Amino acid sequence: MKVLKINVLEAQDVNKNFSGLQALRNVNVKLKKQKIVGLIGPNGSGKSTLFNVITGIIPQDEGDSGQIYLNGKTTNHKKTHELVREGLVRTFQITQIFPMLTVLENMLLGAQSHPGENLSVVLIDLIKRLFKRFTWEASEKQFAESALEILRYLEIDHLALEKAEVLSGGQRKLLALGRALMTVGKVILLDEPVAGVNPTLSNQIFEKIDEIRKDDTTFFIVEHNMDVIMNSSDEIFVLSKGEIIAHGSPSEIQDDPKVLDAYLGNIEKD
């Protein structure tokens, strides 16, 4: 008997409007388990909007249409924190950290089942720790041990007790990835994970992504560094003016005239 493989993430005929401006038009995207999938396109093509719709940050309003599926189940109208509990997490182009908290404390904010799962509760708890010496409860020790294990894996555990404000741009990107892993996410959306990062650390980040995906994790990545995304992705979707204009392997995308036209404009041929 043939086993039907369900897409871990699927956007089906997604349309999104902002005051009459159509930001996404009939977008269809399918992601298989353990794949690294790139999403590229010129500035303003709708990449971040698609990420925001998928993760529930931008709700579907009247006039919008389409379905988002996570592991075969619709996610329409679910809140972002509900999707996180179901294994869908994302990072942002501008890394969101709490500079006056330590790297370890920033990691603990990503703990999916932290007793203070509500962000405000977690923050209050952690801020108190800046001024008082609390003893760790058993559950907190477990979260801290998990966080330290991930930091060791990402090779920034030596910074665990440093304030996050001292981190370099690349180290902040690693911290964002580590926080996503703390949620036990199985579908991770990364928004420009190596933007502003030196080539050596960029390669390190994508080497870690490639290792992590082998643990039943799928990555959907927006990235403007073409060398990195072409060398790391299994397949790539291309957005232009809110529409998917191409989908295929990196080599297919590189040779697609529609993609070249989207980036460079009409090319006059001899």
3 state DSSP class of 61: coil
Query: What pLDDT does residue 266 have?
Result: 43
Q: What is the pLDDT of residues 228-245, one digit of tens each?
A: 999 999 999 999 999 999
Q: Please state the pTM of the whole predicted model.
A: 0.83
**Model pLDDT, residue 131:** 45
The upper half-sphere exposure of residue 110, i.e. CA atoms within 13 Å in the direction of its Cβ, equals 29
First CA to last CA distance, the chain: 55
Residue 8: its pLDDT value, please? Answer: 95
Task: Say yes or no: do domains 1-87+185-269 and 95-183 share a fold.
Answer: yes
* CATH architecture type of domain 1-87+185-269: 3-Layer(aba) Sandwich (3.40)
Per-residue pLDDT of the chain (270 residues; tens, 9 = 90+): 444 567 999 999 999 999 888 999 999 999 999 999 999 999 999 999 999 999 999 988 878 999 999 999 999 888 888 898 888 998 887 777 888 889 998 888 776 544 333 444 445 555 555 444 444 555 567 788 888 999 998 889 999 999 999 999 889 989 988 888 888 779 999 999 888 888 888 888 899 999 999 989 999 999 989 999 999 999 999 999 999 999 999 999 998 999 988 887 644 443
What was the pLDDT predicted at 88?
93
Nearest residue to 187 (alpha-carbon basis) of 34, 14, 4: 34
pLDDT on residue 139: 58
- Residue 57 near residue 33, CB atoms below 8 Å: no
Pick the CATH number of 95-183 from 1.10.3720.10, 3.40.50.2300, 1.10.490.10, 3.40.50.300: 3.40.50.300
Give yes or no for a contact between 56 and 78, defined as CB atoms under 8 angstroms apart: yes
- Domain coordinates in residue numbering, the chain: 1-87+185-269, 95-183
The pLDDT value recorded for residue 134 is: 47
* Sign of torsion over alpha carbons 212, 218, 222, 223: positive
Task: For 218-252, give the DSSP string.
Answer: EEEEE-S-HHHHHHH-SEEEEEETTEEEEEE-HHH
Tens digits of per-residue pLDDT, 140-159? 677 888 889 999 988 899 99
CA distance 18 to 47: 15
**All residues at 6 or more sequence positions from 35 whose CB lies less than 8 Å from its CB, including other chains:** 213, 218, 219, 234, 235
Q: Which long-range contacts (CB under 8 A, 24 or more apart) does 126-129 make?
A: 126/101, 127/101, 129/105
